[in-house]
C-alpha cells in the first residue's frame, strides 16, 4: 500500500509510464496521471486535490464544460484508481532500470540504491548506494580524531586545528629540533642553542643580540664594555 505522504501530493503522479499514459487517465488540470481519481456528474475525471482546488479558487463549475459542480457532487472513481495503480512505471532514479506497478513504486524507492538521499552531516544529495562511502571517507563534516591530542572534530576543521594543536610535532625555526608545540616557548626561552637572545646586560644598555650559543663568548669579549655600562 502507498503511504499517506505519497498519496497526499497536491497534483497527479509525475512519473514515466511504460507504455505511455493513456489520455483517459490524465488529469485535465495538472496533466499528470490521476491521483485519487474522482468523477463529476457530467462525466469528467480529475485528481481529487486538483478539482477541489479548482472549485474553491475558480468557482462551482466543471473546468471542462462549465456545468455547475459542488464538492459534495464529486465521487471516487475506484475503477480508474485501481487501473492507474496497476500501470507500469519506470523508477525515476537516474541509473536504475527497474519497472514496476505504480502501487509498488514508493516501496521500491525506499530500497532503490540509485535513489537520492541527503547526507545528514553535510546536507549534500547522493545516490543511496554511494552514501555510506561518502559518510565514511569523503564527507567534509565526517568526524575524525586528531592523532596527536585525540580531540574529535569535523574533517573540514582539521587543517585549522593542526595549526594550533599543542601536541602536534613542530620544528624549531632556529635549530630544526623536533618538539611538540606546547614545548616551543620553553625551548625558545631556555634551551635552543641558535635562538636569538639579548645580552644579559641589556638592562644596562648593551644592544647586542646573538645566538644563545654565542652568548658566553660575547660576555667574555665585552666584559670591559659591560663594566663601564654598570659604572655609569
- The answer to whether 164 and 180 have CB atoms below 8 angstroms apart is no
Topology of the domain covering 23-86: Herpes Virus-1 (3.30.40)
Q: Dump pLDDT digits (tens) for 161-174.
A: 999 999 999 999 99
pLDDT value for 15: 93
Residues 6+ apart with CB under 8 A from 214: none
At 82 the three-state DSSP class reads: helix
Burial 86-109 (b: 16+ CB within 10 A, else e): ebebebebeebeeeeebbebeebb
pLDDT value for 7: 44
pLDDT value for 1: 41
Domain ranges across the chain = 23-86, 91-138, 196-230
Nearest CA to 6 among 15, 114, 38? Answer: 15
Mean pLDDT, 10 residues at a time, the chain of 232 residues:
51 93 94 95 95 92 91 94 96 93 93 91 92 94 95 96 96 95 94 93 89 90 85 80
pLDDT value for 122: 94
DSSP state of 68: B
Strand pairing report for 169-171 and 178-180? antiparallel
Amino acid at each position: 500500500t502507498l503511504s499517506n505522504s505519497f498519496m497526499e501530493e497536491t497534483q497527479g503522479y509525475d512519473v514515466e509510464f511504460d507504455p505511455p499514459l493513456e489520455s483517459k487517465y490524465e488529469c485535465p488540470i495538472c496533466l499528470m496521471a490521476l491521483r485519487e481519481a474522482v468523477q463529476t456528474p457530467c462525466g469528467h475525471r480529475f485528481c481529487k486535490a486538483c478539482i477541489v482546488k479548482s472549485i474553491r479558487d475558480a468557482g462551482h463549475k466543471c473546468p471542462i464544460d462549465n456545468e455547475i459542480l459542488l464538492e459534495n457532487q464529486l465521487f471516487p472513481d475506484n475503477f480508474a484508481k485501481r487501473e492507474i495503480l496497476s500501470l507500469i512505471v519506470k523508477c525515476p532514479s537516474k541509473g536504475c532500470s527497474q519497472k514496476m506497478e505504480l502501487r509498488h513504486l514508493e516501496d521500491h524507492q525506499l530500497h532503490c540504491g540509485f535513489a537520492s538521499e541527503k547526507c545528514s552531516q553535510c546536507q549534500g544529495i547522493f545516490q543511496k548506494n554511494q552514501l555510506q562511502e561518502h559518510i565514511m571517507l569523503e564527507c567534509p563534516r565526517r568526524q575524525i580524531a586528531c592523532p596527536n591530542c585525540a580531540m574529535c572534530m569535523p574533517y573540514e576543521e582539521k587543517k585549522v586545528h593542526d595549526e594550533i594543536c599543542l601536541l602536534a610535532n613542530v620544528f624549531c625555526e632556529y635549530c630544526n629540533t623536533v618538539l611538540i608545540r606546547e614545548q616551543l616557548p620553553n625551548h625558545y626561552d631556555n634551551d635552543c642553542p641558535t635562538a636569538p637572545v639579548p645580552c644579559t646586560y641589556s638592562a644596562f644598555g648593551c644592544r647586542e643580540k646573538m645566538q644563545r650559543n654565542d652568548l658566553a663568548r660575547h660576555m667574555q669579549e665585552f666584559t670591559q664594555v659591560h663594566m663601564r655600562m654598570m659604572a655609569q
